[in-house]
Amino acid sequence: MAIRRACESVTTMAGHIPCSLIVVANGHRASPAVLDWLGMRPDVRLVRVRSGSAPLARRIGAEIADSEFLGFLDDDDEMLPRTLERKLAFFRDHPEVDVLVSDGLRVDGAAESRILPPPGARGADHIETMMRAGWSACSLTLRTRTVDLAAFDPLFCHMEWTLTALRLARHHEVGLLDEPTYRYHGDTPGSLSKSVEHSLAAPEVWRRLCALYAGTRHEEAMRRRHGIECHNASWKSAELGRLRDAWRLHAESLRSPGGIRAYLTYSRKLLRASLRQARS
């Protein structure tokens, strides 16, 4: 049971340091057996939410947490043993840091790899590093008294950790703990990240981030990434036969920095697909 693995990993992560665990069970599909197991754990505060919205459940959990520091995990995450001590030491040594980003391990079958780019492949700019990372709930630990929870959009349910992390980085001091503190099990059955909707959500995420970082030194990089994701989503939309969406996304990719040079030839493929669809 993935949720059991996630919850039990919190205990091993905390070691001798006291911590509390809030589980927000949302929607009508929550397993009664899982709820019974959670209800019997004295270290778990179980909150039931009738709405099936995962981002709303996450925001509710964050709002009711009353600890000095706040971290997250989904059922496809697993905290690594005794990492809380290292996180708290980082916050203690860096009182200016509001948001701590830590590396993790991506597990896919028998393969295991680091999530953040290796130190030699990144610079000192944490936002640039965060733009290139894959995001899991466990990546972030917050100093609750200084962080505005408005960064957690209760309506956006795909790629929400990328959006949230870079929103937080725009307004708060970010620190980077360059060691794995969690495992992300990418092969978890039923994960939202495997859905078509998830793969098509990236353009909207980066569109929002382009607006958020307008006028900063990161604006062009955000716009380039938006162009890349529009191109990828255009390709996926074309595969699904959604050619109107494919053309709209393609037009957006062309407007990104370097977009005409990078993506103009793709227009021919879209045109051929549109002609085939018109004949059928």
> Tens digits of per-residue pLDDT, 226-258?
999 999 999 999 999 999 999 999 999 999 999
* 157: nearest Cα among 205, 208, 100: 205
Residue 122 pLDDT grade (very low, low, confident, very high; cuts 50, 70, 90): confident
Residues 245 and 124 in one domain: no
Query: 50 or 1: whose pLDDT is higher?
Result: 50
Instruction: Locate 26 and state its tokens.
Output: 């949302």
Q: Which residues pair with 185 in a beta bridge?
A: 107
Residue 254 located in a structural domain: yes
The pair of three-digit structure tokens given for residue 47, joined into one six-digit string: 């909150």
Residues 8 and 141 in one domain: yes
Same domain, 171 and 259: no
Domain that residue 214 falls in = 196-279
The 10s digit of each residue's pLDDT in 66-115 is: 899 999 988 888 999 989 999 999 999 999 999 999 999 998 888 899 98
Domain boundary among the residues 192, 218, 246 is at: 192
Could you give the 3-state DSSP secondary structure of residue 124? Answer: coil
Residues 75 and 164 reside in one and the same domain: yes
| Amino acid at position 178, single letter | D
Domain boundary among 132, 162, 192: 192
Is 242 inside a domain boundary?
yes
Q: Where are the beta strands (DSSP E) in the chain?
A: 21-26, 44-49, 69-71, 77-79, 99-108, 111-114, 140-143, 174-185
Q: pTM higher than 0.75 for the full model?
A: yes
Of 192, 226, 257, which residue constitutes the final position of a domain? 192
- Looking at the structure, do residues 105 and 211 belong to the same domain, yes or no? no
CATH code (residue 152) = 3.90.550.10
When pLDDT is cut at 50, 70 and 90, the band that residue 190 belongs to is low
Number of domains present in the structure of the chain? 2
Shared domain for 123 and 169, answered yes or no, is yes
Q: Give yes or no: residues 8 and 125 share one domain.
A: yes
